[in-house]
Amino acid sequence: MIAEEAIARKAILAKLAQSREEVCQVLDPPRVEANGDGVPRATASEFPRSRTMRALLSSRGLGAAGALVGGLLIARPTLALRMLRLVPVGTVGKMLIAKVISGLGKKRGAA
């Protein structure tokens, strides 16, 4: 009976290890290296390094985050104001100012 349980346990652990590996492959696909067509590659010096933060800071990510914040303000304003106290205002302000300045630079260069 103990030998059968040990074999069953090993089989279960092997299946778990395989499913963990599959989940890791799905959630963390291999990064695309820069090739001749100009696709940027994430390096240690780029900010933000995290793919999640890069997605959030893109125009689509900022739009989605803005919609989420707007919905939260409408649905639960007191909760939204409490959560706003947790946000580092100085850092967010610097990022917004940098976006505005870079946007103005692009518009002046195009005109």
| Predicted pLDDT at 43 | 55
3-state secondary structure of 47: coil
| Predicted pLDDT at 81 | 85
| Predicted pLDDT at 66 | 85
| Predicted pLDDT at 2 | 87
| Predicted pLDDT at 110 | 55
Q: Which DSSP category does 91 fall into?
A: H
| Predicted pLDDT at 76 | 92
For the whole model, what pTM was predicted?
0.38
Every domain of the chain and the residues it spans: 1-28, 58-111
pLDDT along the chain (111 residues), means of 10: 89 93 78 53 65 80 85 90 85 84 71 50
